[in-house]
Chain A
Amino acid sequence: MVETVFYIFGCSAVLAALMCITQRNPIASAFWLVVVMLALAGIFVLLNAQFIGILQVLVYAGAIMVLFLFVIMLLNLGAGGTDLRGKVSWVLALGIAGALTASLMRLARYTPAELAREVSGTSDFAPDVVLPGAHQLQAGVDAHGVVGAVAAPLFQTYLIPFLVTGVLLLTAIVGAVLLAKRKV
C-alpha cells in the first residue's frame, strides 16, 4: 500500500517536473513546480519525515512559490515568445541530463544492506547493527513526538548552525531590501 502511494507520488513529481521545464509560460512553470513540491511533501510523509513534509508544504509550496509568482506577476512576464533555447542547447542539455540520470540510476539498486556494507567496510553485520539511526529515529518520535524528534537535535547538537541560519536570514532580508529598492 505504502509502495503504491509512493510510486504514484514519485511519478507525478517527475511528470510535473518535466512539465515545469517545458512550459512556455513562467506562471504555468511555477504552478507545475508547486505540484512537484506537494508530491515531494507526500513522499516525505511516507518516508517517516512528517514534520519536514508539513514544512515543505508551508515553506516551499506556500511561501517561496508565492514569492516567485508575485515577482512573475510584478514583472508581467506572462505572455511573450518562447524562451526555450535552440537545437544545439537541446542536444547539449539532454546529453548532460541523460548522462547524469544514467550515472545516478545505480542508486536505484541501493539497499540498506549495501549502505551498511559501505559504512562498516565489511558485510559481517546486519544493517540494523551498523545503522542504528532507524531505531534512534523511532525512539525519538516515541519520546518527544514527531516535531520534538527533529527539534531536539536542532536545538542541542546543531545549535550553532541554527543560530548562524538566523544571521543568514537577517542578511538576506537586508540584502533583498537593498537590492530591490530604487536608488535614492
Chain B
Amino acid sequence: MLLGPALAFSGILFSIGVAGVLLRRNAIVIFMCVELMLNAVNLSFIALAQFHGVAGQVMVFFVMTVAAAEAAVGLAIMIAIFRHHESVDLKNINLLHG
C-alpha cells in the first residue's frame, strides 16, 4: 500500500526536477530534469492507482508515450539549435532578451 510515503517521494522528486530546471543552463540537462518531473508524477499516479483502479496505470502509459514523443522532437530541436549557435547553453540563446 504505502500511499503516503510514495506521494512524499513523488513530491520530493518533482521539487528536485524544478530546482534542476532553474539551476542549469545546459538545455539538454534541463530537458532531463523535465523527464524527472514526469517520472515523479508517474509515481503518484501509480501510488493512487492502488486505490482508484487500473486507470492510473493506463495514464502512466500515456504519459510515457507523450514523454517519448517529446524527447524525440525536443532533441531534434536541440540539434537544430546546436547547428545554429554551436552550443546548447541557454545564455547564448537570447534572441528575445530585452
Residues of A within 8 A of B (CB): 2-3, 6-7, 10, 13-14, 17-18, 20-21, 26, 29-30, 33, 36-37, 40, 43-44, 46-49, 51-52, 55-56, 59-60, 63-64, 67-68, 71-72, 74-75, 77, 83-85, 89-90, 92-94, 96-98, 100-101, 104-105, 107-112, 115, 127, 131-134, 136-137, 140, 149-150, 152-154, 157-158, 161, 165, 168-169, 171-173, 175-180, 182
State how many angstroms separate the Cβ of B78 from the closest Cβ of chain A. Answer: 6
If A26-B29, A40-B43 touch, does A85 touch B13 (CB 8 Å cutoff)? no
State how many angstroms separate the Cβ of B6 from the closest Cβ of chain A. Answer: 6
Does B65 lie within 8 Å of A127, measured CB to CB? no
Instruction: Point out the residues of chain A lying under 8 angstroms from B80, CB to CB.
Output: 179-180
Instruction: Point out the residues of chain A lying under 8 angstroms from B18, CB to CB.
Output: 93, 96-97, 100
If A21-B33, A33-B35 touch, does A55 touch B64 (CB 8 Å cutoff)? yes
Interface of chain B, main secondary structure: helix
Complex Cα gap A10–B62 (Å): 23
Does A75 lie within 8 Å of B13, measured CB to CB? no
Contact residue range for chain B? Answer: 35 or more
Instruction: Point out the residues of chain A lying under 8 angstroms from B42, CB to CB.
Output: 40, 44, 52, 56
Residue of A nearest to B52 (CB): A133
State how many angstroms separate the Cβ of A168 from the closest Cβ of chain B. Answer: 5
Complex Cα gap A89–B4 (Å): 31
State how many angstroms separate the Cβ of B27 from the closest Cβ of chain A. Answer: 9
State how many angstroms separate the Cβ of B45 from the closest Cβ of chain A. Answer: 9
| B35-70 interface bits toward A, Cβ cutoff 8 Å, 1 = contact, 0 = none | 110010011101111111111011011101111111
Does B23 lie within 8 Å of A108, measured CB to CB? no
If A33-B32, A112-B1, A168-B65 touch, does A107 touch B8 (CB 8 Å cutoff)? yes
Does B61 lie within 8 Å of A137, measured CB to CB? no
